[in-house]
Amino acid sequence: MTTTPIDPPLPWADGAYSIKRHGVSLTNCDSEPVQMPGCSQAQGVVLVLRVSDLTILQVSENSAAHLGLEPAQLLGKPIATVVAAEGERRLRECLEKEPIERNPIYVFTLPARAGAAALDLSLHTVDGLAVLECEPTAHETAAAPDYYSLVKKSITRMQAAQVLADFCRIATEEVRALTGLDRVMVYRFHADFHGEVVGESKRADLDPWLGLHYPATDIPRPAREVFKQIWVRPLPDAAAPVMELVPLINPDTHRSLTMTHCALRGASVMYTEYLKNMGAAASLTLSLLVDGELWGLVVCQHTTPRQFPYQVRAACEFVAQVASLQLRAVEQRESLAYRLQLEETHNRLVGQVAQDAGLSPMTLGKPNLLDAMDATGAAIFHSERWWSLGDTPSDAQLVNLKAWLEARPEFHSATRPVFATDSLVRDYPGGAAFSMIASGVLALPLARKKGGIVLWFRPETIQTVRWGGNPHEKPTVNGPHGLRLTPRKSFELFAESVKDRALPWKSVEIEAALRLRVLIMELVVSRADQLTELNVDLTRSNEELDAFAYVASHDLKEPLRGISKYAHQLLESAASADSETRRRLEGLTRLTLRMDTLMDSLLYFSRVGRATLQFQPVDLNEAVAEALEMVGARRQEVPTSILLPQPLPTVECDRMRVREIFVNLLANALKYNDRPQREIEIGWRADATRGPVFFVRDNGIGIEPRHFDLVFKIFKRLHGRDAFGGGSGAGLTIVQKLVEQHHGRVWLESTPGVGSTFYFTLGAPLPP
């Protein structure tokens, strides 16, 4: 029983492949071995030599047209058969002294002979073989231009460019001046490898292509890999036939020749048809590399066949190398102002955070995370909660996104822990639910372990991309070797809305985010050291406070009671004493009583700060009722109206402590009120950020704004010690301490002569 393979075997599976013999089909066009085409261009001859003795091992089949000798007359013969003894000597000298491994170098020009034109010879080595390329010379034509002056001018103009758009335009103008071609374009690759024309210089009567986008399939991955290894790719005549190497398999290596660096490397039928459909008869392509990666191409086209002599290619190669070096500098120069703005804002932001106990100022303060970064939303996960700013996903969506991000390997990188995308849906399906506000995401962890995270968001940008033809068009034709893809024939504009995609993150933004992370982590480490020291000091202070409380409750109160006792006895026995003596004894009695009260308040305050709270669901209506009962005696002194407009919620708190908060606030409201009819309102309101906010409002004497902070300090009274019934001045201090123990906050609003309102928070209400 036999089985039929699903896919036919690839023609190069056995190492023998020729674009002339095998072509491309639907099964191999995306993996065609473009670096081993097995064919050369017709305008020259390729000879493959054994390095040791310079014996000819392979030759292109058109050797007779350029050398006057058929392949059979050359194979197995020494290279001197073609270049004579002197030429062979010069080739050996080049092999010994020049760096020609995968680097073609012009050696000399072979003079014209009967039936054969003069040829320029270039030599390089690859895989242990010497590859000699012979092309028609340009020396016999008119005087060559001064390429040195032209290249020098080109470099000077490119170095003066301040922004990328000007740089790309200048590059096209200078390459066109060097080559004299009809159209020169700078073609930039985007993150998904589709291309965009970002610079153009052309003949006046040609249609402009500046701004057009081209699908990634127009320059597939194998071709991009080739352009990462070479600087110049010439094709003088796209319509000319290709010439197969004879034999196809090298007899020494038993494999096809690697022709990556050959100027005469044969072109795929897909590429030549592509040029034909674009109206181009000749092309010259230069690579633009940044940090070893293919940034883009300088694409040159001509409407008629055009030779590209070695001198022209060498000048263009030098321009491409300089342009590649300048690209990074221009991009950095263009982004300098933005980078400085980001750094300044982030430094101010970190300085602001350094003065706060947490990272909340990054979203709540000024400046914040959105003041410098070009984003519409930001979020931080810190202290077990989310802090959001601008347009962001919901907390539940953020939780799921955070878990997905923390599982990605880049988040655990020791050098560059960052995730950046302009299309979140492409990697994270859950992002479809909020792509309108967060198609673009820039995220980084705030610690090496799972925990804190900061994210910036960009919305979906429904952008119309001007395509140079339909990017989805995949026409097929019957080729010499079966059904195959053919390049698009239409290059008219095709508008397509690109969904689920945001503006891409710039490298300067990613670098600034990483620097902000380092600053925050350094701040966290510094703060951890400070907290350790503070905890040691706090432990020591608590021990000292406990010792003081013991002394205050035992050692100090005992002599104080003795003083009070003797003062009373002296007062009773001094019935016949003069009025001044009795006044002094009465003052001594009052002072001992006041001192006893102050010591009791101080002792109680110290115990409040160290008490452990018992949290449970508490109906605050019941707590308020108990508090009103405890201040009932004072309510009877003056007619008092108590208002409770709406029921209070149930919250998680310590019942006794919250009741004490209300007792102190109600006592203050009753005490500091000189009106004939006192009014007190107890209520609450919802707050999306703080949770429920409770308040006690009165129509009393009020407090001046300059005293708002002073009223919460222990033993600080704004009136005389006996005014409004006297007191120790500890009530509001105790209120503040109890509220802080509930992770809340207390503040007030007041107008002198009108009344005061004290607000406080305790946390979110329990669900019904």
143 against 404, higher pLDDT = 404
Is pLDDT of 30 > 60? no
Is pLDDT of 280 > 80? yes
State the pLDDT confidence band at 5, using cuts at 50, 70 and 90.
very low
Give the mean pLDDT of 491-511.
Answer: 76
> Contact at 8 Å (CB) between 207 and 190?
no
pLDDT for the residue numbered 485: 44
Nearest 5°: phi and psi at 392? -140, 160
On average, the pLDDT of the chain sits at: 82
Is pLDDT of 609 > 70? no
Give the pLDDT confidence of 430-449 residue by residue, as tens digits.
999 998 999 999 998 887 65
What strands, in cross-sheet order, belong to the sheet with 755-761?
A: 640-643, 678-685, 693-698, 755-761, 746-751
3-state per-residue secondary structure call for 447-513: CCCCCCEEEEEECCCCEEEEEECCCCCCCEEEECCEEEECCCCCCCEEEEEECCCCCCCCHHHHHHH
Rg (alpha carbons) of the chain, rounded to whole number: 43
Residue 635 gets which letter from DSSP? H
> Contact at 8 Å (CB) between 129 and 252?
yes
pLDDT for the residue numbered 725: 47
Give the mean pLDDT of 277-292.
Answer: 93
Helix crossing, 310-334 with 147-160: angle to 10°? 10
First to last CA, the chain: 72
Is pLDDT of 304 > 80? yes
Give me the percent of the chain exceeding a pLDDT of 90.
Answer: 39
Is pLDDT of 96 > 70? yes
State the pLDDT confidence band at 601, using cuts at 50, 70 and 90.
low
CA dist list (Å): 459 to 99, 369, 738: 52, 16, 44
Most distant CA pair in the chain: distance in Å? 154
Nearest 5°: phi and psi at 552? -65, -35
Distance CA 102, CA 128 (A): 11
Evaluated on CA atoms 456, 460, 464, 467, the torsion sign reads positive
Give the mean pLDDT of 97-108.
Answer: 94
693 against 18, higher pLDDT = 693
pLDDT for the residue numbered 480: 47
Sketch out the chain's domains with CATH numbers: 39-136 (3.30.450.20), 337-462+499-529 (3.30.450.270), 616-761 (3.30.565.10)
Distance CA 257, CA 253 (A): 9
Is pLDDT of 1 > 50? no
Residue 646 gets which letter from DSSP? S
pTM above 0.75, yes or no: no
107 against 733, higher pLDDT = 107
Half-sphere exposure of 116 (CA within 13 A, CB side): 23
pLDDT for the residue numbered 168: 95
Is pLDDT of 663 > 60? yes
Tokens of 202: 């052309």
Is pLDDT of 333 > 50? yes
Give the mean pLDDT of 581-589.
Answer: 71
pLDDT for the residue numbered 765: 43
What per-residue string of b and e applies to 46-64 under the rule 16 or more CB within 10 Å gives b? bbbbbeeebbbbbbbbbbb
Contacts of 174 (CB under 8 A, 6+ apart): 150, 153, 154, 157, 158, 319
pLDDT for the residue numbered 6: 37
For residue 287, the tally of other CB atoms under 10 A from its CB is 23
State the pLDDT confidence band at 143, using cuts at 50, 70 and 90.
low
> Contact at 8 Å (CB) between 228 and 293?
yes
Distance CA 441, CA 501 (A): 10
3-state per-residue secondary structure call for 380-430: EEECCEEEEEECCCCHHHHHHHHHHHHCCHHHHCCCCCCEEECCHHHHCHH
* C-alpha closest to that of 734 among 668, 687, 639: 668
For 721-767, the DSSP string reads: TTGGG---S-HHHHHHHHHHHTT--EEEEEETTTEEEEEEE--PBPP
pLDDT for the residue numbered 100: 95
State the pLDDT confidence band at 726, using cuts at 50, 70 and 90.
very low
Give the mean pLDDT of 190-208.
Answer: 91
Angle at 587 between CA 583 and CA 592, to 5 degrees: 155
* C-alpha closest to that of 288 among 357, 383, 199, 384: 199
> Contact at 8 Å (CB) between 426 and 500?
yes
Burial of 367: CB neighbours in 10 Å, binned 0-12, 13-18, 19+: middle
Distance CA 78, CA 76 (A): 7
Distance CA 451, CA 92 (A): 65
Give the mean pLDDT of 500-517.
Answer: 85
Give the pLDDT confidence of 671-709 residue by residue, as tens digits.
888 888 889 999 999 887 778 899 999 999 888 888 787
> Contact at 8 Å (CB) between 51 and 65?
no
pLDDT for the residue numbered 91: 96
Nearest 5°: phi and psi at 427? -110, -30
pLDDT for the residue numbered 4: 36
Give me the percent of the chain exceeding a pLDDT of 70.
Answer: 77
pLDDT for the residue numbered 704: 87
347 against 3, higher pLDDT = 347
Of these ranges, 237-246, 379-388, 521-530, 697-706, the one predicted with the greatest mean pLDDT is 237-246
Length of the chain: 768
Distance CA 321, CA 288 (A): 7
Q: Which of 319-323, 597-601, 722-726 has the lowest mean pLDDT?
A: 722-726
Tokens of 423: 């299309």
Q: Identify the three-state secondary structure at position 305.
A: coil
> Contact at 8 Å (CB) between 269 and 23?
yes
Contacts of 194 (CB under 8 A, 6+ apart): 213, 214, 215, 216, 471
Give the pLDDT confidence of 262-272 residue by residue, as tens digits.
999 999 888 88
State the pLDDT confidence band at 768, using cuts at 50, 70 and 90.
very low
Distance CA 365, CA 383 (A): 17
pLDDT for the residue numbered 552: 61
3-state per-residue secondary structure call for 713-725: CCCCCCCCCCHHH
pLDDT for the residue numbered 138: 72
Provide the strand spans (E) within 64-218: 105-110, 119-126, 129-136, 183-189, 195-202, 213-214
Give the pLDDT confidence of 378-399 residue by residue, as tens digits.
998 887 788 899 999 999 999 9
State the pLDDT confidence band at 284, using cuts at 50, 70 and 90.
very high
Contacts of 55 (CB under 8 A, 6+ apart): 49, 76, 77, 78, 79
Residue 15 gets which letter from DSSP? S
Distance CA 461, CA 458 (A): 9
Tell me the β-bridge partners of 293.
Answer: 290
